[in-house]
């Protein structure tokens, strides 16, 4: 597995990462890492690789866009001095364009999204042992749906950024699309965004794949 012994892994993103994590830092007792994929990742790493003593911290923020991430980057990423960092952002950047179409000040359009994500990667990657970029997603199998088409555009930006900088890359949308060959999206989320335990397990599985997690452990 790629994550080394005694490494600190910070996961940052929006509500899908947040999932009720503790404030100000999502680490510690009593569900501090939240109830979502970050918690599953933590449990699986600690179960399969107990000797590595990997420290997992959840810094998700409900409602966040990439703009919000950049505003809190110093305190919520850099000051925590992670060895590995996972970033999944973009859902709200797209969603606000559809559920709040007249509030254009809440929208983060593709050019700004790409520019801000690029700045964060350039600023942070040299300080890390590893960086994982995860795409945003929309739990809608119809690729001609307007919001799905827009979300795919933002996912492509994440992929381009990951390729350009040689980071680990997770295509969450592709993973959900494979699931939709068997099940309707309502089996994962009533609002097509916030997944249940099945969706979070899927996200955790895709994250673990790219860090070369071995279910047999060591």
The residues assigned a catalytic role are 15, 191, 194
Q: Is 95 exposed, middle or buried (0-12, 13-18, 19+ CB in 10 A)?
A: buried
Hey, CA dihedral for 17, 49, 84, 73, is it positive or negative? positive
Alpha-carbon distance of 113 to 91, in angstroms, equals 11
The beta strands (E) that lie in the chain are given as 8-13, 55-58, 84-88, 130-134, 168-170
Q: Is 147 in contact with 138 (CB distance < 8 Å)?
A: yes
Asked if 54 contacts 211 with a C-beta cutoff of 8 angstroms, the reply is: no
């Amino acid at each position: 597995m790629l994550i080394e012994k005694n490494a600190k892994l910070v996961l940052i993103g929006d509500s899908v990462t947040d999932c009720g994590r503790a404030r100000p830092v999502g680490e510690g007792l009593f569900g501090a890492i939240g109830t979502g994929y970050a918690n599953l990742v933590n449990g699986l790493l600690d179960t399969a690789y107990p000797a590595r003593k990997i420290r997992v911290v959840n810094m998700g923020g409900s409602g966040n866009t990439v703009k919000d991430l950049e505003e809190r980057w110093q305190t919520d990423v850099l000051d925590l001095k992670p060895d590995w960092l996972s970033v999944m952002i973009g859902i709200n950047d797209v969603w606000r364009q559809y559920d709040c179409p007249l509030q254009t000040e809440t929208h983060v359009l593709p050019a700004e999204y790409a520019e801000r994500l690029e700045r964060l990667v350039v600023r942070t990657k040299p300080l890390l042992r590893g960086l994982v970029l995860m795409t945003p997603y929309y739990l809608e199998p119809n690729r001609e749906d307007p919001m799905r088409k827009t979300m795919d555009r933002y996912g492509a930006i994440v992929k381009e950024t990951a390729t350009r900088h040689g980071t680990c890359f997770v295509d969450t949308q592709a993973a959900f699309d494979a699931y939709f060959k068997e099940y309707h999206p309502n089996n994962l989320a009533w609002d097509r965004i916030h997944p249940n335990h099945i969706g979070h397990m899927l996200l955790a599985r895709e994250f673990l794949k790219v860090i070369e997690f071995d279910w047999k452990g060591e």
